[in-house]
A = this chain, B = another copy of it.
Amino acid sequence: MKTKITLKELSKLLNVSVSTVSKALNDSPEISPKTAERVKELAALHNYKPNPVAVNLKKSKTGTIGVVIPNISNSFFARVLSGMEAEAQKHDLQVITYISNESLDREKQICELLTSGFVDGVLIAVSEETQRKKEYDHLFNLVEYEIPVVLYDRINVPLPADKVGVDDENSFYDATKFFRAKGIHDIGVVSAIHHLGVGKSRIKGHERAMPDGEELKLAVSSKADVLKQKIKDLISTKKIEALLCTDFESAIMSARIAYEENIKIPEQLKIIGYISKEVAEFLTPSISYVEQHPQEVGEKAMQLLSDRLEGKATAGRYSEKVIATNLVHLESTSF
């Protein structure tokens, strides 16, 4: 069993002071090359590693970042986390994860915890409930405590903070334009998240690509059975030719209903949805999707935070980055 050696013990073995050992290991120019070498040698021999807790206390920082995730089972967020972790590694930062489960209360609890000094900064995608109720006091609280915050994905929050979002609006603008260019004009939009910022943006993008004044064909509801009925109405009764789905649930549901109603995809109905690559590719038929580059969202968010922690960002000025999306065409949009 190995036991961790401390600076003090090292200094005793070397017959020099603790200060000297510390400086030597931190490559201080004050130390003579000779002793520096002696010290480093012994440190390596004993596999010395500074106690990070002590270093952090001394430096008044924690070296860790708090990441708040609304729902980790959503593969988008899982991949965002992966990007954050990769970027954190580059900056020697540790990532502490907190899962809000889309609950405002839990999110408040987490923010409360976060103000007590566990982390140097926070990356957060606010919960659904938070967005719905527009309660942001707990976030402002973080800012008041001078804890740098970066909002990611769900950035439609009036908070003085850096933000990294997905280009939701343009994704559906592009998708709509794509269909129209192919001569398809009866385009429906399906959404189970129309009440959230990202859902609204996507629908807005679609609207922007449609002729002025033309009524939109929407099937929206956060209740599964209601949504199901509305989709059925859209594709069976209204004979829509193409569907844009703002989320996993509505995309899968649309494909399913088409199957049940004996409407062939893509021959009679084309679909583009927000689904993760992993699932989209494997469906039968495979569903064309909007690639959101979650990894990049995570990397960028961590990068902005790290810049701010290192003083590379101007105080009081916040940047807002939008990660471009692109359409990946699979079977559901083949012509």
Contacts and interface: CB of A to CB of B under 8 A. Distances in A.
A155 to B, nearest CB: 22
Interface string A129-163: 00000000000000011100000000000000000
Given A57-B53, A284-B256, A82 B72 contact: yes
A97 B117 contact: no
Contact of A75 (B1, B2, B75, B144): B75
Interface stretch (A24-32, A180-188, A197-205, A275-283): A275-283
A118 B94 contact: yes
A159 to B, nearest CB: 15
Contacts of A247: none
Nearest to A145: B2
Interface in A15-55: 49-54
A86 B98 CA distance: 9
Interface in A113-131: 115-118
Contacts of A3: 145-146
Interface string A94-113: 11111100000000000000
A52 B118 contact: yes
Interface string A65-100: 000000011010011011001100000001111110
B53 A62 contact: yes
Contacts of A144: 1-2
Interface residues of A, number: 46
B81 A117 contact: no
A237 to B, nearest CB: 21
Contacts of A82: 72-73, 99
A64 interface: yes
Contacts of A85: 97-99
Contacts of A94: 96, 118
A116 B279 CA distance: 39
Given A4-B117, A51-B117, A97 B99 contact: no
A263 interface: no
Contacts of A284: 255-256, 259, 283-284
A49 B279 CA distance: 45
A56 interface: yes
A202 to B, nearest CB: 20
Given A95-B96, A146-B3, A117 B49 contact: yes
Given A72-B81, A96-B95, A117 B2 contact: no
A117 B144 CA distance: 31
A252 interface: yes
A96 B84 CA distance: 12
A279 B282 CA distance: 10
Given A49-B115, A57-B53, A78-B75, A1 B146 contact: yes
Given A73-B75, A73-B79, 13 more contacts: A1-B145, A2-B145, A3-B146, A4-B117, A49-B117, A53-B53, A54-B57, A57-B57, A75-B75, A81-B97, A81-B99, A95-B96, A256-B284
